[in-house]
Amino acid sequence: MKPQKALHLHIEEDKKNPKFKGRMYAIMQKFDGWYGYLEEGKIYSRAGRLIPSLAHLAMPKLKGRLIFEILVEGVPVFSDLNGILNRKAPCNDAYFKVHDWVLHEEATFSTRWATACDFCYRYGEEYKMSIVKLLGQSKNPQVWKDTAKKLWDLDKEGVILKAMDAPYSSGKRNADVMKIKEEVTLDLLVIGLEMGKGKYHSNLGALIVKDKANNTHSISGMTDAQRKMWWNAPKCTFKVPHPILGRVVEVKAMKILKDGSLREPRFKAIRYDKTKTEID
């Protein structure tokens, strides 16, 4: 059985008849961990290789395949995690975020989820396993996107969407499992401020930024404190520059579209080490 792959939501959205329409999806946090699974008491990687640093762990011999993200206490960076788990030296600080248990491929996700929850509630503490909590269930793509944005504001990866009625599709990438994740990072120049609406009326609603091809983009993702400070800052002078206008900022987005626009662009940070001649 091969791992089921996650399809980018925007790829399915761009189709004439998206296959997610009308279907109920579980919304789950996407972790920046190492994909792993438990079979016959041993822990394997996505490629089906035994993970050497975890070979010493006494794990239960369960039926089917228990699937999880592997994380290590105090190691937030994926590249560092990759190095630790690939070593032969035992890793005792690993823990597991369980998101599926495939007893047989025909079982729907709702059934598999209930079984995985039961196992984690009963035995999770013993094996350092916890279930990935559902952030909600919805048929509405805007709800999925709003949940992803809330996680991005917390510097999290994004969301995974699993169709509640779907069987496990070994080795496939389809609308049964989708992800919303920021894939593109760009350094862009702030050229304007846009007043907000609703909650942000009379405050900063968006930053207007441009790229080296002179495409302009309206981006959000700022904190409330940043919005207030930047909107109310006095006009810049030679001696006192504006805190955000004319700055280079790091922007993350899901995708660069064919016309040069960005899908779901969001402000991440000011790049004090970059000048306007170094924008993307």
pLDDT in tens, 15-50: 999 999 999 999 999 988 889 999 999 999 988 999
Percent of the chain with pLDDT over 90: 57
Q: What span, in angstroms and rounded, lies between the C-alpha atoms of 258 and 11?
A: 13
User: 1-29+136-181: which CATH architecture?
Assistant: 2-Layer Sandwich (3.30)
For every residue of 195-263, DSSP letters joined together read EB-GGGBTSEEEEEEE-TT--EEEEB---HHHHHHHHHPPPP-SSS--SSTT-EEEEEESEE-TTS-EE
Structure tokens at 254: 């899901």
Distance, in Å, from the CA atom of 241 to the CA atom of 250, rounded to the nearest integer, reads 19
Q: What is the pLDDT of residue 254?
A: 84
How does pLDDT run across 154-188, given as a tens digit for each residue?
888 899 999 999 999 998 999 999 999 988 889 99
pLDDT digits (tens, 9 = 90+) for 93-132: 999 999 999 998 899 999 999 999 999 999 989 999 999 9
Instruction: Give the domain ranges of the chain.
Output: 1-29+136-181, 32-131, 184-272
**pLDDT of 215:** 92
Task: Say yes or no to pLDDT of 76 above 80.
Answer: no
CATH superfamily of 32-131: DNA ligase/mRNA capping enzyme (3.30.470.30)
Do the domains spanning 32-131 and 184-272 agree at the CATH topology level? no
The CATH-assigned architecture of domain 184-272 is Beta Barrel (2.40)
* The pLDDT value given to residue 79: 66
